[in-house]
Amino acid sequence: MQNKLSLLFLFLLTIMLAGCGFHLRGSNIHGAATLSPELKIMFIDGVRRNSALMTALRADLTASDVQVVDSSDDATAIMRILSNNFNRRTLSVSSASGKVREFELHYEVTFVVNNKEGDILVPTQRARLVRDFTFDETRVLGKDSEESILRKEMEQDIVQQILIRLQAHARKIETPDIAS
């Protein structure tokens, strides 16, 4: 009897979590991004093929049923990465030792999407993130790995911002302005 109650409780808890919209970070309960058909075969220009940004973009676009091709001749859309900047800025310095106590990480990607003819499909967009973290000189190894983890998370977050903007383009096409 108690076993059945435990199973029932577990089942109800699962239903409640799913019903409230809870999902694990990095998972997409609504499926992959829905992009317009003109973006379904894409060439990405302006970033190295083996860079972390390219790897994350390729993976997330592929999950959204976009074929990322190696030549602009094969593409219906060309995403041009106009800038891909990652900077670290000092936020605070210890008054006693004069050493850095806190950093701010800035990551910014600017992109535009055109078709083969050069017509703009998605106008120039700027995705920007800022994160800060404290630095403890007694824990240098841990803080270096923390910064590395933050960078990877920021790259993934930037890719999510890019996909959201591409999705917004698809929604804009589906619901054109009727006020003419």
Residue 108 within any structural domain of the chain: yes
Mean pLDDT of the chain, nearest integer: 81
Predicted pLDDT of residue 21: 61
Q: Where is pLDDT greater, at 139 or 146?
A: 146
Q: What is the rounded distance in angstroms from the CA atom of residue 59 to the CA atom of residue 62? A: 5
Residue 180 within any structural domain of the chain: no
Mean pLDDT to the nearest integer, 137-160 = 79
pLDDT digit string (tens) for 111-136? 999 999 999 999 999 999 998 877 76
Q: Which residues pair with 92 in a beta bridge?
A: 102
Residue 155 within any structural domain of the chain: yes
Residue 39 within any structural domain of the chain: yes
Task: Flag whether pLDDT at 168 surpasses 60.
Answer: yes
- pLDDT confidence of 141, banded at 50, 70, 90? low
Residue 52 within any structural domain of the chain: yes
The model's pTM is 0.71
Predicted pLDDT of residue 24: 53
Q: Give the distance from CA 36 to its chain's centroid.
A: 18
**How far from 139 is each of 32, 142, 144, 146, CA to CA, in Å?**
39, 5, 9, 11
Cβ(73)–Cβ(59) below 8 Å: no
Task: Flag whether pLDDT at 179 surpasses 50.
Answer: no
Q: Where is pLDDT greater, at 10 or 106?
A: 106
User: Residue 113 sits in which domain range?
Assistant: 2-174
**CATH code, domain carrying 58:** 3.30.160.150
Q: Which contacts qualify for 168-172: CB closer than 8 Å, 24 or more apart? A: 169/35, 169/36, 169/39, 169/113, 169/121, 169/122, 170/34, 170/35, 170/36, 170/39
Number of domains the chain contains = 1
Residue 179 within any structural domain of the chain: no
Residue 20 within any structural domain of the chain: yes
Kindly state the tokens that stand for 136.
């403890």
Task: Flag whether pLDDT at 143 surpasses 70.
Answer: no
pLDDT digit string (tens) for 27-85? 444 446 788 889 999 999 999 988 999 999 999 999 989 999 999 999 999 999 999 99
Task: Flag whether pLDDT at 2 surpasses 80.
Answer: no
